[in-house]
Amino acid sequence: MKIKLFLFISISLVVTFIFASVPHPNTIVYEHERAAETLDPAMVIDTASEQVLNNVYETFIQLAGTSLTRYSPALSTNVPSVKDGTIRDNGKTYIFHMRKGVRFHNGDLLTVQDVVYSLERDVVIGMAGGNSYELSEPLLPKINGKYVTNLTQWAIKLAGVKSWNDLFVKDTNTPKNSKYKKALVDAFNLMSKDFQIKGNDLVIHLAQAYSPFFNSLISTVAMIVDKKWAVANGAWPGTADTWWKYHNPDRQKDPLYSITNGTGPFEVYKWVRGREVMLKRFDKYWGKSAKIKYAIIKTVSEFTTRKLDLIRGNADIISVPPQYIGQVKNIKGISISKNIPGSAEYQISFAFSVNPHSKYIYSGKLDGNGIPPDFFSNLDIRKGFEYLFPHQVYIKEVWNGLGTEPNGPIYKGLLGYNPNTPKYHQNLAKAAEYFKKAYGGEVWKKGFKVAIIYNSTDPTMKQACEILKTYAMRVNSKFKIIPAPTLWASLVNEFLNNKTPLITLDWFSANSYNRVYGYLSPSGVYALALGHEFRVFTQKNFAPLINAAVSATSLGKAQKIYQKINMKVYDQAMMIWLIQPSRRLVYRSWLKGLYPENYNPFRDKNIIFHNLSK
């Protein structure tokens, strides 16, 4: 009896010691520099919001393990295939067997109607610069042989008007007449007829074959919300004769902006905007329950603070800028992963035409104290800027060599990448040559002044701006580039409102089509931000190639088209491609399941907490 008691006490002491050495064993804290902008899957364009929602909402299918090309079931119990007859009609019909017994966080059971509503709602919202094109293009018929990226395009066509605003009484969302209202309803019905419910199966009839369709179904646009709950909270009621009232809302006026109700392994317990999101384990999750009870995603802008929190055990995972990796090496209890190729590119973007009231163009004239709004629509100017930047120096000194120089929007590892596509390298003599040609020599004679906007919490972006500033002045002392640090939320707002003539950003996507669409489609988020002249230019030069790539009947044909796109991007000096970074995960050694078994490059900066433990 004494022996048993002794063993019991010994085991208890060991267990107590283990748990005492790991603070808060039921909670994982992830600290990074950005804050979520919205909690509505239909309104997401930023990775910080994705970070939250990937743990809260779920999609039809998901990527299998760490692969970028294989899929596994999620809310659908199958991944459709030609072999088993669930992909038919030459890739135009998909059959999904939706999972039974799945509950939303409020207790409601998932129905196939919720699935249809979620997909339709994303197309209905059609946020400007958002990702609804990923569903609009396959679900809506083409117009004049071109993919339709927004439901409004069909409404305009059916009504026979020139613009969206022509359909409505001024400053209202009331159709001017019954003809226009019918056109709006008919436009919606072009999409709604694509869905067919058969018991617990959902049959989707695409308007045309769409090679990236599976990629659409793993993104935020296919996250499933509870229809009854959404409608009760003021979201679109699911009716054809009201949809335009809910189209493209202001982000913070969106009814689902700050509330969630998903089917994922975690639910949002608390959101302190700009500071942290606390997730709580959903104990009625249909799958295997999460191993931890809480996950906290904190916004901590200063790296030094994040590092101290990691050392003290107040954080379990932190984001570490590459130049600071050396500061967390060889610290007892801290693990660092090997280099992982990321799914992002950093680039400096030129607004071909910027809002003339933007404060960042100063005088707004070519007088040495500013730039005209269409300054960067000039190819000589863009090429001059391209030859200013020392890519290899930047990668080595700022990123500690953690990355490679891309040669366009399609980086190494993606369909269409061609290592032989040329790159720009610093050549100050060539930069001067192009600047001297621009505007008939006026730029060289008078100089210019322009701000370059960057995320104030990202030191790698700050360094890129300072480098560009330094070499511009070295070429001509009258060339003044002014780095403008901006908080992330303000930066996104100014970018989307076409107020940033020159900006350094990163774009996350591990899909060739999404990358060229986001950067180069006249309907993509960059086109929204980079101005009317950019949209006109990309409509002529890139839209036909992008449409051809997505319509390609084989991967080989698509590859050749993507290679043409990358080459044209080089020829036209569309952006300064800075780096495709590698990533190193930095975390406490007590954290289990993070790497490599649960890391997927598609998510890049997103941490999925489901299989993690301490």
Which has the closest alpha carbon to 261: 459, 387, 106?
Answer: 106
CB atoms near residue 331 (< 10 Å): 14
For 42, 104, 255, 256, 563, the CA distances from 232, given in Å and listed in that order, are 17, 15, 10, 11, 48
Contacts of 114 (CB under 8 A, 6+ apart): 224, 225, 226, 227
Instruction: Yes or no: say if 204 and 192 are a contact pair by the CB < 8 Å rule.
Output: no
The per-residue pLDDT for range 354-370, each reduced to its tens digit, is 999 999 999 999 999 99
Instruction: Yes or no: say if 475 and 332 are a contact pair by the CB < 8 Å rule.
Output: no
Which has the closest alpha carbon to 206: 130, 112, 282, 137?
Answer: 137
pTM: 0.78
* 596 φ/ψ angles, rounded to the nearest 5 degrees: -90, -5
The distance of Cα 396 from the centroid of its chain, to the nearest Å, equals 26
pLDDT of residue 597: 64
pLDDT of residue 113: 98
* CA 359 – CA 418 distance, rounded (Å): 39
* CA 530 – CA 353 distance, rounded (Å): 6
Four-residue CA torsion sign, 543, 547, 550, 553:
negative
Contacts of 58 (CB under 8 A, 6+ apart): 74, 75, 223, 224, 262, 263, 264
Question: ∠366-367-368 over CA atoms, to 5°?
Answer: 100
Four-residue CA torsion sign, 299, 302, 306, 308:
negative
Instruction: Yes or no: say if 510 and 414 are a contact pair by the CB < 8 Å rule.
Output: yes
Instruction: Yes or no: say if 361 and 531 are a contact pair by the CB < 8 Å rule.
Output: no
3-class DSSP state of 244: helix
pLDDT of residue 11: 37
The per-residue pLDDT for range 206-239, each reduced to its tens digit, is 999 888 899 899 989 999 999 999 999 999 999 9
Instruction: Name all contacts of 68-72 with Cβ < 8 Å and 24+ positions apart.
Output: 68/510, 68/600, 68/601, 68/602, 71/214, 71/218
DSSP 103: B
* CA 97 – CA 199 distance, rounded (Å): 9
- Where the chain has pLDDT below 70, the residues are 1-20, 68, 596-605
Domains of the chain, CATH where assigned: 57-226 (3.90.76.10), 344-582 (3.10.105.10)
3-class DSSP state of 375: helix
3-class DSSP state of 506: strand
3-class DSSP state of 487: coil
Instruction: Identify the residue whose tokens are 């949209």.
Output: 535
Instruction: Yes or no: say if 387 and 428 are a contact pair by the CB < 8 Å rule.
Output: yes
* 157 φ/ψ angles, rounded to the nearest 5 degrees: -65, -45
For 176, 195, 245, the CA distances from 166, given in Å and listed in that order, are 8, 30, 15
Instruction: Identify the residue whose tokens are 């322009």.
Output: 450
pLDDT of residue 8: 38
* CA 352 – CA 537 distance, rounded (Å): 9
* CA 62 – CA 53 distance, rounded (Å): 14
